[in-house]
Amino acid sequence: MEALKDIDLQINQGEFVGIMGPSGSGKSTLLHMLALLDDVTAGTIIVDGTDVERLSSIQKTHFRLTKFGYVFQEYALLPELNALENVCLPLMMLGAPAREYRRAAMEMMETVGLSKRAKHLISQMSGGEQQRVAIARALVNHSRILFADEPCANLDTKNSGIVMNLLRRLCDEREQTIIMVTHEPEHMQFADRIIWIKDGMIEKEEKPG
């Protein structure tokens, strides 16, 4: 069964791309393939001039650590770590000295507006706060691309607004490339470009507003 076919897509640095489509259309599959979470059976994905499908499993892991950031719909944070420690994790994996990764993580916590909640355990934080911690973790290693898989699916309207505004601000201020899957029409306004997927194919592309 072909989940995706004839996908020809170019995303530029600093662009905020939203992927939309009905359930089962293949939008999540496309995101997983672009994010190197799932294997591509045919075709190529080029990131920063690298044909990522030619990378070994170990190289893909390193690629994900250094180039990509992820935000999942269920926050996906480690419950045994506090917010700051969760954000430190990617830098620790890269071998940064303790003082450096703590400083960088704290800066990211300030960027997402949670510096005062840095020492709190994940279980002591609201859904919106957890998602902002996940965004801080995804960006602390200066990842080139942030992948967000329905980041507001479990959030109320107020927290959804906070998270989407944060993503937009990061895109504007840091030229952060963001690829986000969503099925919420109200999130379209935050993206630079919307790609509509239907039956595994790109149905149309449009600029919001």
Partner 1 sequence: MKTPFGDRFNLPELGNDLRVAFFLVFKAITRGNKYTLVLTILVTTLAFINIIFTSSIMNGAISKAYQQAQENYVSNIVILPAIDDKYISQVRQLKTSIDTLPGVISCSSRYSQSGLIRYDPEKDNLDVREKAWTIKSFNPEEEIKVTSLQNYMIAGRYLEEGDRDQVIMGREISGGYGASFQISSLKGAKVGEEISITYGNGVKRDYKIKGIYNTYFPLADLNVFITEKEMESVLGLHNRASEVLIKTDGSVPERVYIDRLRTMGIEQEQINVWMDFIGYISGLTQTFDIVKNIVTFIGLLVAGVTIFIVIFIATVNRRRQIGILKAIGMKERIIILSYILQAAFYAFLGIVAGLIFIHIGLVPYFIRNPLPMPIGLVSLALVRSDMAVAIISMLLVSVVAGFIPSWMVTRQNIIKAIWG
Site of interaction with partner 1 (CB under 8 A) = 32, 35, 37-38, 57-58, 61-66, 68-70, 72, 76, 78-81, 85, 89-90, 92-93, 95, 121, 137-138
Tell me 82's DSSP state: B
Helix H segments across 74-187? Answer: 83-93, 98-111, 127-139, 157-174
Of residues 37 and 188, the one with the C-beta less far from partner 1: 37
For residue 205, the minimal CB distance to partner 1 (Å) is 26
What span, in angstroms and rounded, lies between the C-alpha atoms of 109 and 113?
A: 6
Q: Shortest gap between Cβ of 99 and partner 1 (angstroms)?
A: 14
Q: How many CA atoms lie within 13 A of 131 on its CB side?
A: 25
**Least distance between partner 1 and beta carbon 14 (Å):** 22
Secondary structure letter of residue 189 according to DSSP: G
Minimum Å gap between C-beta 34 and partner 1 is 13
**Comparison of 69 and 151: residue with beta carbon closer to partner 1:** 69
Q: Which is nearer to partner 1, 9 or 78 (CB)?
A: 78
The sign of the CA dihedral 8, 13, 18, 24 is positive
Neighbours of 15 (CB within 10 A): 17
Q: Is 183 exposed, middle or buried (0-12, 13-18, 19+ CB in 10 A)?
A: middle
CB of 68 to partner 1, least distance (A): 7
The residue (of 51 and 80) whose beta carbon lies closer to partner 1 is 80
Query: Between 7 and 87, whose beta carbon lies closer to partner 1?
Result: 87
